[in-house]
Amino acid sequence: MIAATQGHRLMALLSVRDLSVAFETRDGLVRAVNDVTFSLDAGKVLALLGESGSGKSVTLRAILGLHPAVRTRVSGEVLLKGRDVNRLDEAARERLRGGVVSMVFQEPMTALDPVYTIGEQIVETLVQHRGLDRRGASRRARELLDLVQVPSPERCLASYPHEISGGMRQRAMIAIALACDPELLLADEPTTALDVTVQAQILWLLRDLQQRLGLAVIFVTHDLGVAAEIADAAAVMYAGRIVEQAPIRDLFRRPAHPYTEGLMQATVRRGQKGRALVPIPGAPPNLIALPAGCAFAPRCPRAYDACLATLPSFHPVAAGHAARCHLVA
């Protein structure tokens, strides 16, 4: 499933090795993603969990090669079906996008084009990427809306994005993402902007589609609850690094990294009334001046000298479960 430190296996659909992304800004070099390594097999769901600024969305965009070359430094390998995304020319990357990998964004209102109907946008995708004629593409567009369970597909096809509800827009965006039968779906907080009753529907839909179509999914989220609903495994990110990787049940039962543990304790759950919450003190570090040791050490209740001095490497906790923490060693 997820190979943490053991290196990537040959047959993985996606294999990311030592991925680093840094942005040049006026204030200095922002080290958004640092030496991220993970792999994902076909048909599996990985949650990239983290708070704002942890590097989860930047990682996701790097998989598609979406970061503009200007003032961005990308290093490391992103092997998608054995081919390094960072070494392909733009034309070859364009073929990967849509056909092999596609993306669903948090805000469907900004990701969809406001001046075209939903139908036109799906048809356009099919004509461009699949070379279908307009009639064939229209028929397929209708099928796709059925697939994402839009109740009245004809009306949705004829609607502009602003004319339909947030949940419907998100379904339409998923339909576009699925238009070219991708093997890997990258989902960037696709339910965060939605109401909780609608979030439940979209999560359920994504899980259903994932299983029926055998999709591999990377699901970026800040929400532990969402990860618990959808993922087979999770990678927890902090200050641009993966600090823990585990099968999802292991992560919830035996969080090994103090940050993961802190996050679980800080999350308000049902039936917690009357008990004080246990927050993580302090705030995440500045990505321009990352500390030498473990980036979480200044907030960690169990940090000792070594944590401040040297960066911990991954230590195995159980099968497929590893944490970047000196305490685990």
Partner 1 sequence: MSPGNGAPPLLEVRGLRKHFPLRGGVFQRTHAWVRAVDGVSFDVYPTETLGIVGESGCGKSTLARLILRLIEPDAGTVRFGGEDVRAATPPRMKRLRRDMQLVFQDPYASLNPRLTIEDAVAFSLIVHGTPRAEARDRARALLGRVGLDPRLYGRRYAHELSGGQRQRVNIARALVLDPKLLVLDEPVSALDKSVQAQVLNLLQDLKAERALTYVFISHDLNVIEYVSGRVLVMYLGEVVETGTADALAQSPKHPYTQALFASAPSLDPDHRMERPPLAGDPPNPIDPPSGCRFRTRCAFAMPRCAQAPPTLLAVGARHEVACYLYEAEATVAAPAC
Q: How many CA atoms lie within 13 A of 48 on its CB side?
A: 31
Nearer to partner 1, 53 or 65 (CB): 53
Residues lying near partner 1 in the complex (CB under 8 A): 51-52, 151, 165-168, 195-201, 203-204, 222-226, 228-229, 231, 248-249, 252, 262-263, 265-273, 276-281, 283
Q: What are the angstrom distances between the C-alpha of 106 and each of 177, 189, 190, 222?
A: 13, 5, 4, 12
Please report how close the Cβ of residue 230 comes to partner 1 at its closest, in angstroms: 8
Q: How far is the CB of 320 from partner 1 (least distance, A)?
A: 14
Cβ proximity to partner 1, 25 vs 265, nearer residue = 265
CB of 168 to partner 1, least distance (A): 7
When the beta carbons of 35 and 223 are compared against partner 1, the nearer one is 223
Least Å from the CB of residue 58 to partner 1: 16
- For partner 1, the closer CB: 6 or 165: 165
Name the minimum Å distance from CB 207 to partner 1: 8
The Cβ-side half-sphere exposure at 156, using a 13 Å CA radius, reads 25
Q: In the complex with partner 1, which residue's Cβ is closer, 66 or 193?
A: 193
